[in-house]
Amino acid sequence: MKEALNKFKSLKLVRMMGFNRVVLIGVIILMYILFTILSPILHQGTNFAQVSRLLSALNYGYFIGFLALGVTFVIATGNIDFSIGPVMFCSALISGYCMKQYAFPLWLCLIMCVLIGAVFGTVGGAFVAYLHLPSFITSMALMQVAKGLGSVFTKTQTVSWPQGDAPNTWFRNFVRYKGIPTGLIFLIVVAIICAIVLNHTRAGRYIICLGANKEAVRLSGVDTRRWEMLAFIICGALAGFAAIFYVGAYTTVQPGMGDTFNNEAIAACVMGGTSMAGGLASILGTVIGAFIVALMQEGILAMGFSISYQYALTGLIVLGAVIADTLSRRRSN
């Protein structure tokens, strides 16, 4: 048994992807089978194995995926960002409101989404990197700012982005075009760019190394503050991207919400093998993790449970992943 496991671990593909990622793919398949069997039993003959269910799960996976990719950079530096969900909503609310009230062109609104996210990232990153504030508290505070700002700006109204036959709906093609899940292509392309940045550029190298030992990197003559802040900017900008894909899939955004997505994105990231202690990150793991979260959400609904179960489960997943991470680190010490 042990031998077989070792043999499996030494397969080229497994080594390339990392054992943890292969296991996660197994988990996705198992979850899919489980939901297909359980949902008709638990929820009056619901059929889980439909294309529409998969597409719905994908819709959820896109924006969670972008959020998770962003927060991977922050977690790699050994920090955390609890503001990404509300930041995503805040940028969708403000730019959507500008489009409706002030007739901003759609392209400008999309750019605004990303910019607003990046501004939040810059502010948070500056506080953490230059003023040495703990990222935990800083991002908690910014989460409230994002929620409040979104509400104030829209006068606490729900904002709807163009939908149905309305003009200016081409942004929805990002998510799905003539039945093709284009969102998946975008997510994969951005994930590949993220992986290249993280593994093959100076920024990525510094971000990961400073996550592992900031003082050693600083004493090597590197201005760590710059790179630490950059991680937050990337994270914020990707939260802005997530906003585009959120409205592309669901069109309506409510003010004062979004914090539940923080945990789901962080869960996706940590499940994928990014260490909460910093210094270790896997983009592939994050993407797979995001789809696990998305599939779980779809499955829970299909089985007739309320979405609250999802919150509880995500919390447990974060705990489980952190325990696994901590244990593996303790062992290697």
Sites of contact with other proteins (CB under 8 A)? 196, 200-202, 205-206, 208-209, 212-213, 215-223, 279-280, 332
Helix (H, G, I), strand (E, B) or coil at 252: strand
Q: How far is the CB of 227 from other proteins (least distance, A)?
A: 11
Q: How far is the CB of 167 from other proteins (least distance, A)?
A: 39
Exposed/middle/buried for residue 156 (C-beta within 10 Å: 0-12, 13-18, 19+): exposed
Q: Find the Cα–Cα–Cα–Cα dihedral 237, 243, 249, 255, rounded to 10°.
A: 170
29 CB-near residues (< 8 Å, 6+ apart): none
Q: How far is the CB of 213 from other proteins (least distance, A)?
A: 5
Cα angle 252-255-261, degrees, rounded to a multiple of 5: 80
Please provide the size of the chain in residues.
333
Q: How far is the CB of 221 from other proteins (least distance, A)?
A: 3
Q: How far is the CB of 130 from other proteins (least distance, A)?
A: 13
The tokens for 292 are 């696990």
189/216 with CB nearer other proteins: 216
Helix (H, G, I), strand (E, B) or coil at 152: helix
**At 159, which helix (H) or strand (E)?**
strand 159-160
The tokens for 281 are 């990150």
Cα angle 327-263-278, degrees, rounded to a multiple of 5: 45
**At 243, which helix (H) or strand (E)?**
helix 224-250
43/205 with CB nearer other proteins: 205
Provide the 8-state DSSP code for 305.
-
* Largest pairwise CA distance in the chain: 66
Q: How far is the CB of 190 from other proteins (least distance, A)?
A: 16
271/280 with CB nearer other proteins: 280
141/212 with CB nearer other proteins: 212
Residue 286's φ and ψ, nearest 5 degrees, are -60, -45
Look-up: residue for tokens 């959400």?
297
188/193 with CB nearer other proteins: 193
64/280 with CB nearer other proteins: 280
140/324 with CB nearer other proteins: 324
220/252 with CB nearer other proteins: 220
Provide the 8-state DSSP code for 259.
T
Q: How far is the CB of 200 from other proteins (least distance, A)?
A: 5
Q: How far is the CB of 273 from other proteins (least distance, A)?
A: 13
